[in-house]
Chains A and B, each alone.
Chain A
Amino acid sequence: MSAMEAKPRVSARHAQLGLSDRDVLEMYYYIALARALDERMWVLQRAGKAMFVISGPGHEGCQVAAMWPMDKAQDWFVPFYRSIAACLVKGMTPTDILLGLFARAADPSSGGRQMPGHYGHPRVKILSTSSPVGTQYPHAVGIAYAARVRRTGEVTMVAIGDGGTSQGDVHEAMNWAGLYRLPVIFVVENNAYAISVPLHKQVAGGSIAARAAGYGFPGVVADGSDVLECYRVARDAYERAKRGEGPMLLEFQVPRLGSHSSDDQQERYRTKDEIEADRARDPLRVFGAYLESVGLLTDTVRQEIAARVRREIDQATEAAERAPLPEPASAARYVFFEGR
Chain B
Amino acid sequence: MAERRYIDAINLAHHEEFARDDRVVVLGEDVGRKGGVFGATAGLLEKYGEERVIDAPLAESSIAGVAIGMAANGLLPIAEFQFADFIHPAFNQIVSEAARMRYRSNNAFGCPVVFRTPYGGSHGTALYHSQSIEAFYAHVPGIKVVAPATPYDAKGLLKSAVRDPDPVLFLEHKRMYRIVKGEVPDDDYTVPIGPAAVRREGKDLSVFAYGWMLHEALQAAETLAGEGIDAEVVDVRTLAPLDTTTILHSVAKTNRALIVYEDNRFCGYGAEIAALIAEEAFYDLDAPVIRLGGPDVPGIPFSKPLEEWFFIDRHKIADAIRRLAAL
Give the interface of A toward B (CB within 8 A).
Answer: 76, 78, 107-111, 113-114, 118, 120-122, 127-128, 130, 132, 135, 137-150, 154, 168-169, 172-173, 175-176, 179, 333-338
Residues of B within 8 A of A128 (CB): 101, 104-105, 108-109
A110-B104 contact given A128-B109, A142-B69, CB 8 Å threshold: yes
A138 and B75 within 8 A (CB): no
Give the interface of B toward A (CB within 8 A).
Answer: 25, 51-52, 56-57, 59, 61-62, 64-75, 77, 89, 92-93, 96-97, 100-110, 141-142, 144, 164-166
A114-B102 contact given A130-B96, A137-B65, A139-B69, CB 8 Å threshold: no
- CB < 8 Å: which of B69, B144, B166 contacts A141? B69
A143 and B69 within 8 A (CB): yes
B62 and A139 within 8 A (CB): no
A99 to chain B, nearest CB (A): 11
Q: Write the chain B residue with the least CB distance to A112.
A: B106
B57 and A173 within 8 A (CB): no
B48 to chain A, nearest CB (A): 11
Closest 4 interchain pairs by CB? A142-B69, A138-B65, A111-B106, A172-B62
Residues of B within 8 A of A144 (CB): 69
B73 and A336 within 8 A (CB): no
Residues of A within 8 A of B70 (CB): 142-143, 145-146
B110 and A337 within 8 A (CB): yes
Given contact pairs A108-B108, A114-B104, a sample of 19 additional A-B residue pairs in the complex whose CB atoms are under 8 Å apart: A120-B105, A122-B109, A127-B69, A132-B96, A135-B97, A138-B68, A139-B72, A141-B65, A142-B67, A142-B77, A145-B75, A149-B25, A150-B74, A169-B62, A172-B65, A176-B66, A335-B102, A335-B103, A337-B165
Residues of A within 8 A of B93 (CB): 135, 138, 169
- CB < 8 Å: which of B59, B110, B142, B165 contacts A172? B59
- CB < 8 Å: which of A114, A127, A140, A145 contacts B109? A127
Residues of B within 8 A of A78 (CB): 69
Residues of B within 8 A of A172 (CB): 57, 59, 61-62, 65
In the assembled complex, the Cα of A108 lies from the Cα of B106 at a distance in Å of: 8
A113-B106 contact given A142-B65, A149-B25, CB 8 Å threshold: yes
B176 to chain A, nearest CB (A): 28
B107 and A334 within 8 A (CB): yes
A141-B107 contact given A135-B92, A179-B57, CB 8 Å threshold: no
In the assembled complex, the Cα of A338 lies from the Cα of B76 at a distance in Å of: 18
Most chain B C-beta atoms within 10 Å of own C-beta, residue among A111, A149, A154, A338: A149
A150 and B73 within 8 A (CB): yes
A336-B62 contact given A150-B73, A175-B57, CB 8 Å threshold: no
In the assembled complex, the Cα of A172 lies from the Cα of B65 at a distance in Å of: 10
Residues of A within 8 A of B144 (CB): 336
In the assembled complex, the Cα of A86 lies from the Cα of B101 at a distance in Å of: 21
A127 and B72 within 8 A (CB): yes
In the assembled complex, the Cα of A179 lies from the Cα of B66 at a distance in Å of: 13
Most chain A C-beta atoms within 10 Å of own C-beta, residue among B67, B71, B104: B104
B305 to chain A, nearest CB (A): 38
- CB < 8 Å: which of A113, A139, A154 contacts B97? A139
A173 and B62 within 8 A (CB): yes
In the assembled complex, the Cα of A333 lies from the Cα of B107 at a distance in Å of: 9
A139 and B68 within 8 A (CB): yes
B113 to chain A, nearest CB (A): 9
Q: List 8 A-B contacts (CB under 8 A).
A: A120-B108, A128-B104, A137-B65, A141-B66, A143-B73, A173-B65, A334-B103, A337-B165
B149 to chain A, nearest CB (A): 24
A110 to chain B, nearest CB (A): 5
- CB < 8 Å: which of B25, B64, B109, B142 contacts A120? B109
In the assembled complex, the Cα of A179 lies from the Cα of B63 at a distance in Å of: 14
B57 and A113 within 8 A (CB): no
A333 to chain B, nearest CB (A): 7
Residues of A within 8 A of B52 (CB): 149
- CB < 8 Å: which of B59, B68, B142, B164 contacts A142? B68
Residues of B within 8 A of A109 (CB): 105
Residues of B within 8 A of A76 (CB): 73
Q: Write the chain A residue with the least CB distance to B105.
A: A128
Residues of B within 8 A of A140 (CB): 69
Residues of B within 8 A of A336 (CB): 102, 142, 144, 165-166
In the assembled complex, the Cα of A137 lies from the Cα of B96 at a distance in Å of: 14
In the assembled complex, the Cα of A120 lies from the Cα of B61 at a distance in Å of: 22
Q: Write the chain B residue with the least CB distance to A148.
A: B51
Most chain A C-beta atoms within 10 Å of own C-beta, residue among B52, B67, B92, B110: B92
In the assembled complex, the Cα of A120 lies from the Cα of B104 at a distance in Å of: 10
Q: Write the chain A residue with the least CB distance to B50.
A: A180
A127 to chain B, nearest CB (A): 6
Residues of A within 8 A of B109 (CB): 120, 122, 127-128
A142 and B166 within 8 A (CB): no
Q: Write the chain A residue with the least CB distance to B100.
A: A130
B61 and A138 within 8 A (CB): yes
